[in-house]
Structure 1
């Protein structure tokens, strides 16, 4: 370790946190955690007091979130003339409150005695902090450590039991094994990893139910965010979606005659208020063959009797070939600063596009489709990142994530978003269909295996058959209670409950 860093422990903690992001999508360099997590624990063991440990923990979290959320800055370039002053501070500004959660495992590691108690308590406290981060202040559970395994379906399978938080717990404990300096610990870690992968292989070997006889056509328009709402570009953009929809639906109808077809547009794909624009609905319906339905992302408005705008919604509307709306879903979990301004307008800036806050829908629910078609559970944009909060009281036949990742350009952001969607499929035992305005669009079966993908920055169609659901997983039935139970158990075991006569922990 260079002496320069040893003499600047906060900077060392920051760098260890930033390096840990290499384990996240899209790089997935998971072995880097075998250096960064033990390094962080070693550093915390040198802290002369709890204040210094907390400060170093904050530094680790700040590095982790600045490096992991750098792509947020890209959204400001869509109106850089207005928001240029936020460019250097956007990612650090969001990382600051996120970093505060890293103080929790740092203090736990400092307080607990060295050895297995510190190792075990640190892992449990890390996951406790992740869970709190997903709940407090509307929640932002982005880049949970269990996401590092989303490069393949095999290591994701325990999420069907313990969720992504359980994967995070296992990941921290395995990565922290070097601090134990024990061959027995390494042997135990290898055994756990073998059981982990064995469970994944067993679950993936189980036969899946037959696919639904429903053909999917996902339309990825790849529209740049800075041109999307340009009045001169609206009709050409709409025409692009119509032409791609007609092409894909005709191809599916010819290849699979008689089977129903679902054409899916991503979040706010329509540059018009589609659910209230009769001509736009007629044109969209005209692009469909008789056996098709269109599920389209759009902004929806409600006006009062005096003609004044009362509410805006980020919505998904279902249209039949006559252009008639046969289903509607409104986004429930809105993005702070992006779709509404927190604190009731107290802040002196307005960052929401158009200057009008969106209104929230009722929450996770099923979008019932006509003709007995399998009904999806829609998730608009970042609604998909919340474990155990994507399915309501009624279980859907599949999950549909429509999103607009054009805000974040060619960066790590869309891949991190995709990884979260893949994990929800495994956790719930439901297929995940993801339509993105600009990548990555993908289809995963109920075990998280990838069926099809359309890459980032591409324009085109993604066509496949709709996978079937599995029976509700243990995680789908128990939610966060299982990972919460494990972290509480581990915290209890890590605490030294008795003292030796000399006053030291026993």
Structure 2
């Protein structure tokens, strides 16, 4: 469990990658020396419990926003979530025992780890948070280079390589040299791709990211909704003025974060018109809001409002957060004050002037291979979120790392408007275009670059890392140690 907790240091935002080979080696040693497969599974479970408890410690902050009601959940929030995720780490600990020691066992372990990790999308509505592939999302140019293979194999493919490399370095000097050569090739591919990819002709709009910095206690209390609304109007005016000076002649859209509008936007014509007056000159306002269908169903939505104040398009969040936005049916008592209803699925808006945009609400962006429809490829991605729940912790930064990875996988620029931060935009190769830091109100206009042609991953999705993982497992099981001659034994 301690080894698993230490392994979490390799994840964003610390990126202490050198600890990962040591901690995975500890798990592998325990697994292969276990007396039975049950004991090996238990070792993997404890490792997973430590990894996810440390990696998701920030979940406790969400409970603290309503500590008067849910005080009893405080000590079990992160460990409880980790308890559900820990069994996935038991899978490689068991399966690696099917292969001989050395490289065969390394391959089986890495393939099983990746395959099991990908299975986390089937846990309730899915929680593929903190895949080990995110250890390569280093800040700056280095991260831009190291992330480029995700355009082919996705973040899960990066996980596979990371685990193979982390355990491969323990297989002798030849193995170290092999891993080093593979890493050089990796870096070479990243540099080549950054210098060679060419965008398609469509020019994406300027997006003004509006960050109101409304604390979660303010949102829950709903004590001064007019002041919150006025804050967003003022920031929108400021951002639009900057955008029109910096990017004359380009289409502009402004984006408000998840549930930024403190009411029901589709039912409030006057407020929609007030928003578009504040955003005068914008082609559309993209606003996070709640929606009530009048039949007792509530949706977490984002709406596109045109210059006249009419709702031109709407998207209802289709993948809800378990225990946050809905309560799994197996829980016999109520732990949520209200539950949301999932929407119909991913959408691509085709909006004149700003092109085709795929809206994503909050944690929908963490689902590799499931952020854009293949039959209606967008020109850019929009993510609206409210990370105020998690405070100034690793949580919002890990969330932001997922946003960056989706840009590389899909070859699409992405704009992210976050209530308390971090609001940012990335180009289609994952290069950061600008950001608003945590905990500051502000607005930031960013001219989004053109999309790239569909990447290999955008065409085939998670099929590629699935096949690679299965290939590693089968190759490792099929490999047999060389037989020594009788003469040598004598």
TM-score normalized by the length of structure 1? 0.91
Equivalence for 2:327: 341
Instruction: Kindly provide the CA deviation profile for residues 305-355 of structure 1, in whole angstroms up to 9, marking residues without a partner as x.
Output: xxxxx21111111112322211111111111121111117x520232xxx3
Q: Please name the residue that 2:422 is paired with.
A: 440
The aligned residue for residue 214 of structure 1 is 205
2:466 matches 1:476: no
Aligned to 1:4: none
Do the aligned partners of 1:267 and 1:297 also contact (CA within 8 Å) in 2?
yes
Is the aligned partner of 1:387 residue 2:368?
yes
Please, which of 265, 269, 277 is the counterpart of residue 286 of structure 1? 277
* 2:288 is the counterpart of 1:297: yes
Instruction: Verify the 8 A CA contact 2:207 2:415 in the aligned structure 1.
Output: no
Q: How many residues align?
A: 478
Find the aligned partners of 1:227 and 1:172 in 2 and give their Cα distance.
43
SS at match of 2:112: helix
Aligned residue among 184, 195, 198 for 2:174: 184
CA contact (8 A) 1:422 1:448 kept: yes
* Displacement after TM superposition at 1:298 (Å): 0.4
Residues 193/497 of structure 1: CA separation in 2 closer, same or farther (3 Å cut):
closer
Partner of 1:364: 346
2:298–2:341 contact (8 Å) kept in structure 1:
yes
- Distance in 1, matches of 2:235 and 2:83, equals 43
Q: Trace 1:65-214 onto structure 2 (pairs within 5 A).
A: 65-151=52-138, 152-180=143-171, 182-209=172-199, 212=203, 214=205
Gaps of 5+ in 2: 485-490
1:455 counterpart (434, 437, 441):
437
Where does structure 1 differ by over 6 angstroms across 4 or more consecutive aligned residues?
Answer: 497-502
Q: Which of 272, 277, 284 is 2:268 aligned to? A: 277
Q: 1:386-425 maps to which residues of 2 (within 5 A)?
A: 386-392=367-373, 393-425=375-407
Matched residues in 2 for 1:347 and 1:417: separation? 31
Q: Is residue 228 of structure 1 aligned with residue 219 of structure 2?
A: yes
Distance 1:418 1:499 in 2: 44
Separation in 2 of the partners of 1:334 and 1:451?
29
Which residue number in structure 1 is paired with residue 488 of structure 2?
none
Secondary structure (helix, strand or coil) at the match of 2:65 reads helix
Spell out, residue by residue over 1:475-505, the C-alpha distance to the aligned partner (whole angstroms, 9 max, x if none).
1111111111111111111114779999xxx
Residues 413 and 451 in structure 2, CA contact (< 8 A), matched pair in contact too: yes
Superposition deviation, residue 454 in structure 1:
1.2
Distance 2:428 2:282 in 1: 25
2:476 is equivalent to residue 494 of structure 1? yes
SS in 2 for 1:362: coil
Whole-Å Cα distance in 1 between the matches of residues 430 and 245 of structure 2? 29
The 3 A distance-change label for structure 1 pair 358 and 213 is closer
Q: CA deviation at 1:110?
A: 3.1
Q: Aligned equivalents of 2:245 and 2:478: distance in 1?
A: 69
Distance (Å, rounded) in 2 between the aligned partners of 1:417 and 1:113: 38
Partners of 1:375 and 1:59 lie apart in 2 by 45
Paired position in structure 2 for 1:324: 310
Conserved 8 A contact 1:221-1:240: yes
Shift of 1:464: 1.2
DSSP 3-state at the match of 1:448:
coil
1:11 is matched with: none
Which range moved further: 281-290 or 195-204?
281-290
Q: Secondary structure at the match of 1:132?
A: helix
Corresponding residue for residue 48 of structure 1:
35
- TM-superposed CA distance for 1:48, in Å, is 1.5
| Superposition RMSD in Å | 1.8
Distance across 2 between alignment mates of 1:262 and 1:129: 40
Q: Does the residue aligned with 2:292 lie in a helix, a strand or coil?
A: strand
Partner of 2:66, secondary structure, is: helix
Bigger RCO of structures 1 and 2 (CA < 8 A, at least 6 apart)? 2
What does residue range 237-276 of structure 1 map to in structure 2 within 5 Å? 237-276=228-267
Looking at structure 2, the residues matched to 208 and 466 of structure 1 have their Cα atoms a distance apart, in angstroms, of 15
- 1:81 Cα deviation after fit: 0.3
Distance across 2 between alignment mates of 1:383 and 1:455: 22
Q: Any idea what SS the aligned residue of 2:41 has?
A: helix
Say if 1:124 and 1:491, in contact at 8 Å, map to a contact too: yes
For 2:450 and 2:180, how far apart are their aligned partners in 1? Answer: 34
Describe the SS at the equivalent of 1:434: strand
Identify unmatched segments of 5+ residues in structure 1: 1-13, 305-309
| Of 126-135 and 240-249, the range deviating more from structure 2 | 126-135
Secondary structure (helix, strand or coil) at the match of 2:399 reads: helix
Q: Contact 2:283/2:354 (CA < 8 Å) preserved in 1?
A: no
The structure 1 residue matched to 2:354, chosen from 366, 373, 394, is 373
